[in-house]
Chain A
Amino acid sequence: MPGKEGLTLFFPEKMAERVLTPVETRAGSAKRTIVFVIVLIVVAALAALPWYGNSVLVQFGISVLLLATLAQGWNIIGGYTGYASFGNSVFYGLGAYGVAIAMVQFKLPFWIGMIAGLVLAVVFAAALGAAVLRLRGHYFAIATLALAFIMTAIVSNVEIAGSNIGLVLPLLKSDVLFYELALGLLVLATMTVWWLANSRFGLGLISIRENEEGAAVMGVNTTLYKTLAFMLSAAFTGLAGGIYAYYITFIDPVGVFDVGLNVKMIIMAVFGGPGTVLGPVVGALILSTISEVLATKVTSIASMFFGIVIVIAVVFMPRGIADVLRRAGRSPLRYFVDNVRTHRL
């Protein structure tokens, strides 16, 4: 059989009986092509938005794209690896401060600030990962949450970071640039997650999520993989923070080390479908839009909005929209019962 020379067959006698089924069915790959084309069209339409949309829409777009990037970043550690991180807002804050400190204190260009923020976030993730990634489940969540609170206090006392007053960045009035940057970052993050979903590395992460000891016993270097996932997650989160800092032109510790933002990214990722490629992006888009509409109409409901979403998501669709769509066609009751059963609620 061509192409099989290198594979020492384990059970040669089985080969004869084996029915060769292609890895992907034709229907499956056709569906993939369609999704790919749709995504391409959507990205093109989004990239062109500043030329046909108004400035309010562009500003809303920047906020949604950054949130979607955060949700996608969280997806890597939370959705794929199964570690519910509350420390991602710290990576965001570090990215923002990297840019702010570089530009304000050292008068360096923006892109050098981005690199500084990226390095800060990723190095911090590596160090933090070594300390807390051995904790599982709730313990990991609580440890990262504690850190997120501590960070505000620490940065408030760092002089170069403007202490608790914050830093004012140079003003760049070009929302189009920020919009396109945010879109580019989201596309990069999503392509990375798509690669994860199809790569050996990603399979390792998923196996850790599904059963960490089982993964290690089958040859997955769990410590290394978890740490790399955390660093990758931190990279996108930090870069998003960096873009945000320059865009908003003023940052302070309470504003960018905001645990509430971390909760938001989790809700968006979980609502859309954790551990899926497009779920977190769709989740961010839908929830931001609803939240924005509510904020202009009925403010009292708007403030409760994310709380309501949590309840709905946990009770009715713990695996996100992506899963609801996948199983579309089943009766809602059946879906609900299935969820209760598989998640032992």
Chain B
Amino acid sequence: MATPARTPAAAGNILEVRNLTKRFAGLVAVNDVTFDLRRGEILGLIGPNGAGKTTLVGMINGTIEPTSGDIVFDGHSVLGVPAYRRAHMGIGRTFQVMKPFPGLTVLENAAVGARFGAAGGIKDMRRAQDRARECLEFVGLGRRIDQRADALGGPDRKRLELAKALSMKPTLLLLDEVMAGLNHVEIEEVIEDIRKVRDQGISILVIEHVMKAITSLSDRVFVLHHGEKILEGPTEEVLRDPRVVEAYLGKKRTKS
């Protein structure tokens, strides 16, 4: 069971996405997108609904087949590599539309990640359960480990989704709107959690509509709009850009 050595400060990119395109029947969901994710950084991804963010994440973790382009993870192209192998390689994700194992307990949910995740998971059951429990306690579900997943409320489902991804021990974590539907206090907690995860040396792509999360977490941000990357740069700079204000934040500004 070779656990890949984690060298947080190692130079270079953990993920390189090149000219990635996804066409659904008659619709270009992601159009010629190129970006890098540096080792140990938190990269923010913003864009209005339907911009192609979830599709992009799906292509990176292997649940959606790209139409063209390339994805290089840890120096190797992962095109055509099935999702489960990418999980073994260290790519973990959460789903915006959550995918819990409804009939299993919270502990069993996370145990799947622990027993199958990075490097094929921890084969020993006790160690795997220890790890699952650790991740659940980390996100604040420690008291609910024996409950069935479908008995959890909305915020706890979000926490479980995060814990499941963490239990895989990923080196790259793709977070698709994990804060949607959470209140201010809960958002603060999750922001803190994500920061701690990064401190472990894990590289993270954060998709959020919650601007506070993007500003306080991201080292850099890029913006998708109609499937195209329209901007990329340091967080402050990007969020000040008139195109972003118009394309993305505009609606919210006029409302409030």
Which residues from 182 to 208 on chain A have a C-beta closer than 8 Å to any C-beta of chain B? Answer: 198, 200, 203-204, 206-207
In the bound complex, residues from chain A placing their C-beta under 8 Å from that of B108 are 203, 206
A14 interface neighbour in B1, B103, B138, Cβ under 8 Å? B138
A208-223 interface code vs B (CB 8 A; 1 in, 0 out) = 0111011111111110
Judge whether B135 is part of the interface by a CB distance below 8 angstroms: yes
Judge whether B111 is part of the interface by a CB distance below 8 angstroms: yes
Pair B84/A214 contact, Cβ less than 8 Å: no
Give CA–CA (A204, B84) in the complex, Å: 12
Q: Which residues of B contact A (CB under 8 A)?
A: 1, 3, 61-63, 82-84, 87-88, 93, 95, 99-104, 108, 111-113, 115-118, 120-123, 125-127, 129-131, 133-135, 137-138, 150, 164, 166, 168-169, 196, 200
Pair A218/B82 contact, Cβ less than 8 Å: no
Number of A-B residue pairs at CB separation under 8 A: 112
In the bound complex, residues from chain A placing their C-beta under 8 Å from that of B3 are 8
Pair B112/A203 contact, Cβ less than 8 Å: yes
> Known interface pairs A206-B101, A211-B100. Does A14 touch B134 (Cβ–Cβ under 8 Å)?
yes
Interface pairs (25), CB distance under 8 Å: A4-B127, A6-B1, A7-B127, A10-B135, A14-B138, A15-B134, A198-B125, A200-B116, A200-B121, A203-B108, A207-B112, A207-B116, A210-B100, A211-B99, A211-B101, A214-B101, A214-B164, A216-B87, A217-B83, A217-B93, A217-B95, A218-B84, A218-B87, A219-B113, A220-B84
Tell me the nearest residue of chain A to B165, going by C-beta. A218
B112 interface neighbour in A10, A198, A213, A220, Cβ under 8 Å? A220
B95 interface neighbour in A15, A21, A214, A219, Cβ under 8 Å? A214
Tell me the nearest residue of chain B to A275, going by C-beta. B103
In the bound complex, residues from chain B placing their C-beta under 8 Å from that of A106 are none
Counting chain B CB atoms within 10 Å of each CB, the highest count among A6, A198, A209, A214 belongs to A214
A1-26 interface code vs B (CB 8 A; 1 in, 0 out) = 00010111111001101100101000
Give CA–CA (A221, B88) in the complex, Å: 10
Pair A218/B116 contact, Cβ less than 8 Å: yes
Tell me the nearest residue of chain A to B5, going by C-beta. A8
Least CB distance, A195 to chain B, in whole angstroms: 12
B131 interface neighbour in A7, A218, A220, Cβ under 8 Å? A7
Residues of A in contact, count (CB < 8 Å): 33
> Known interface pairs A207-B101, A210-B103, A214-B99. Does A219 touch B134 (Cβ–Cβ under 8 Å)?
no
Least CB distance, A331 to chain B, in whole angstroms: 19
Pair A211/B102 contact, Cβ less than 8 Å: yes
Pair A219/B116 contact, Cβ less than 8 Å: yes
Pair B134/A218 contact, Cβ less than 8 Å: no
In the bound complex, residues from chain A placing their C-beta under 8 Å from that of B115 are 200, 203
Pair B103/A218 contact, Cβ less than 8 Å: no
Which residues from 266 to 286 on chain A have a C-beta closer than 8 Å to any C-beta of chain B? Answer: none
Judge whether A296 is part of the interface by a CB distance below 8 angstroms: no
Pair B116/A7 contact, Cβ less than 8 Å: no
Judge whether A174 is part of the interface by a CB distance below 8 angstroms: no
Tell me the nearest residue of chain A to B117, going by C-beta. A219
Give CA–CA (A78, B123) in the complex, Å: 25
B126 interface neighbour in A18, A23, A213, Cβ under 8 Å? A23
